[in-house]
Amino acid sequence: MRRERPALGILGGMGPLATADFYRRLVERTPAGSDQGHLPVLMWADPAVPDRTAALLGEGPSPVPALVEGARWLRRAGASCVAVPCNTAHAYVEQLAKAAGVEVLDMIEAALEAAAGKVPGVQRVGILATRGTRLAGLYERAGARLGVEVIQVPDRVQLEYVDAAIRAVKGGADLAGPERWIAEAAGNLRGQGAQVVVAACTEIPLVSGAAAGVLPLVDSTEALVDAVLSRLWRADPFDQASS
């Protein structure tokens, strides 16, 4: 008899590499003793979802209809809750959850809580994110709830380093340059008094190795994995079954 277990829905494709990275990390971090101990996962990964930052800047169509379509499919397929491995898409999460009738885990708050845990007593958290995430004030609002000040890089650094690095990762470029750029951006945040930096775009953790040597670094993808495991995973006495 098949045992009913809570299933995770992944609303992905934003971008494809970031979604694959999230699922890989979820599998690696799940403390299962066999294939059978891992979470059932349903994935809707549609790279045709309109660009979230362009929509927030008024330069492109809304991604909401495509996001709602995916979330409704995940709910109908049996997802208990949904993870969206895209920080900028969280500008639409409340609207998405209401329209699709499904719980959506909060990646933004999870990342800031992880930052507070990484540096006890932290007061100033630097953010490396898309212009859309910045414009929506996602981390600023979560920071106000948690009592921490959120610091962003200046517009020049955003354009020359952060935006350029995100484009390079999405475009499949060599990652050596983007890694240097993200480290430069982290150095700017350190100069502004940040005590920890959040890689607040799911492309950035893929090029954040050098930045982690500049400031303690919180990976928003890892934070979302932690939120999933906290919400859904529980030890299964039968997960040692033969694969």
Q: Is the pLDDT of residue 223 over 50?
A: yes
Do 27 and 101 lie in one domain? The reply is: yes
| Residue 123: CATH number of its domain | 3.40.50.1860
Do 155 and 118 lie in one domain? The reply is: yes
- Residue 173's nearest CA partner among 181, 183, 26 is 181
The predicted structure's pLDDT at residue 239? 52
- Rounded CA separation 115/110 (Å): 9
The two structure tokens encoding residue 19 = 């979604």
The predicted structure's pLDDT at residue 124? 97
The predicted structure's pLDDT at residue 195? 98
Q: How many domains does the chain have?
A: 2
Cβ proximity of 181 and 204 under 8 Å: no
Q: Is the pLDDT of residue 186 over 80?
A: yes
Q: Which residues are catalytic?
A: 86, 201
Give the range of the structural domain holding residue 171, as residue numbers without chain letter: 107-220
Q: Is the pLDDT of residue 237 over 70?
A: no
Q: Is the pLDDT of residue 2 over 90?
A: no
**What letter does residue 239 receive in the DSSP assignment?**
T
Q: Is residue 1 part of a domain?
A: no
Q: Is the pLDDT of residue 82 over 60?
A: yes
Q: Is residue 48 part of a domain?
A: yes
Using 50, 70 and 90 to split pLDDT, how confident is the model at 212?
A: very high
